[in-house]
């Protein structure tokens, strides 16, 4: 157990969140409201009944639970509501910068236009930024199951839209069924068009998935990367090239990527010098928040205030921001962390 002083430091400290799916952030109360409107039968009547949908034994069960809830997003105002509620939670946790992703292809298939989907989310972002010390950006989730041509078309559309909220693209879905290399053309085009790039890798599949994300897709960071530990050469490469890993402890535990928190490589990765960050992945699905991830890491890996501050700053380093904006954010968060460590300020959300 960590002491009260470290606990309080974690709760108050400024944070960065880089691996967060909008569709995994639907509050149970909101899910019930959407299901009621959509006349779902049987209709959950209590939050616990929604949470029961997220009780799974494997990845297939996780995907099914996510689909059961997120398929109730039918209108643009649903996206705005979910984004608004998510950003409110993040602000209360003293998150100063977040990059969350959205499965935009889902809504294009419902008949919405890309610019309208982004505008709906941006309204929530602008409102949150006007009320809180919070910056938010969006990455667009390319879904493996929808194929490479769909991914390329979306990359082109994102670049044509050129919306300041959107900073890049990511790749998610079944690593085993849809290899990274299949999406080389989409990621090559994203790079040509100036979009940042990340991909889920080293979660359900071993280090070969991480190597492929780096070599075939040219990603700038890796979502998860947990199984990179199985390849010492890869670990050394990640250290040398400073390729960030957006790690999600509770997610990895719930999806049985690791057997226990003591088995998770996060602590080793951090101490070896890999640029690791802490994130929630799908907070409502996994029953976690960012404060929880920091508390868990501090306890499991014996991290102190200096360690935790370094991990937060890793998040700034890994952010898909312009260098000038990144420098400003780095300075602001570093100053806030220093003041907090000195005990000279009380950080407010």
Which residues does the annotation mark as catalytic? 203
Q: Cα separation of 125 and 258, whole Å?
A: 34
Contact call for residues 325 and 92 (beta carbons, < 8 A): no
**C-alpha torsion sign, points 278, 281, 283, 285:** negative
- The torsion angle over the Cα atoms of residues 293, 173, 212 and 206, rounded to 10 degrees, is 60
Q: Which whole-number Å values give the CA distances from 140 to 33, 127, 137, in the listed order?
A: 26, 21, 10
E strand intervals along 147-265: 166-172, 196-201, 221-224, 245-247
**Beta pairing class for 196-201 and 15-17:** unpaired
Q: Give the contacts of 268 (CB within 8 A, at least 6 positions apart).
A: 229
Q: Which whole-number Å values give the CA distances from 205 to 55, 161, 242, in the listed order?
A: 22, 34, 22
Q: Give the contacts of 290 (CB within 8 A, at least 6 positions apart).
A: 15, 17, 90, 93, 95, 278, 279, 280, 283
Q: Cα separation of 168 and 325, whole Å?
A: 16
Contact call for residues 298 and 2 (beta carbons, < 8 A): yes
């Amino acid at each position: 157990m960590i002491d009260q002083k470290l606990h309080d430091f974690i709760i108050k400290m400024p944070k960065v969140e880089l691996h967060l799916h909008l569709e995994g952030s639907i509050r149970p109360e909101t899910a019930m409201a959407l299901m009621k409107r959509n006349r779902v039968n049987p209709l959950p009547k209590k939050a616990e009944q929604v949470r029961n949908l997220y009780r799974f034994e494997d990845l297939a069960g996780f995907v099914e639970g996510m689909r059961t809830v997120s398929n109730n997003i039918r209108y643009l105002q649903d996206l705005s509501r979910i984004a608004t509620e998510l950003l409110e939670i993040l602000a209360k946790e003293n998150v100063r910068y977040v990059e969350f992703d959205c499965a935009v292809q889902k809504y294009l298939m419902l008949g919405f236009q890309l610019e309208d989907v982004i505008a709906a989310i941006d309204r929530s972002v602008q409102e949150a930024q006007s009320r809180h010390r919070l910056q938010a950006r969006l990455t667009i989730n390319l879904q493996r199951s929808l194929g490479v041509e769909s991914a390329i078309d979306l990359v082109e559309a994102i670049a044509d839209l050129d919306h300041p909220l959107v900073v890049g693209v990511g790749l998610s879905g079944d690593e085993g069924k849809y290899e990274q290399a299949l999406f080389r053309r989409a990621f090559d085009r994203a790079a040509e068009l100036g979009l940042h790039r990340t991909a889920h890798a080293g979660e359900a599949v071993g280090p070969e998935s991480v190597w492929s994300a780096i070599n075939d897709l040219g990603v700038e960071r890796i979502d998860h990367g947990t199984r990179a530990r199985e390849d010492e050469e890869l670990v050394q490469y990640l250290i040398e090239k400073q390729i960030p890993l957006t790690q999600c402890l509770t997610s990895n535990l719930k999806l049985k990527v690791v057997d226990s928190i003591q088995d998770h490589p996060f602590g080793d990765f951090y101490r070896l010098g890999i640029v690791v960050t802490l994130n929630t992945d799908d907070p409502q699905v996994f029953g976690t928040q960012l404060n929880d991830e920091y508390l868990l890491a501090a306890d499991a890996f014996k991290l102190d205030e200096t360690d935790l501050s370094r991990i937060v700053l890793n998040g700034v380093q890994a952010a898909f921001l312009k260098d000038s904006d990144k420098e400003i954010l780095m300075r602001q968060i570093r100053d806030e962390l220093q003041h907090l460590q000195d005990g000279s300020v009380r950080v407010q959300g």
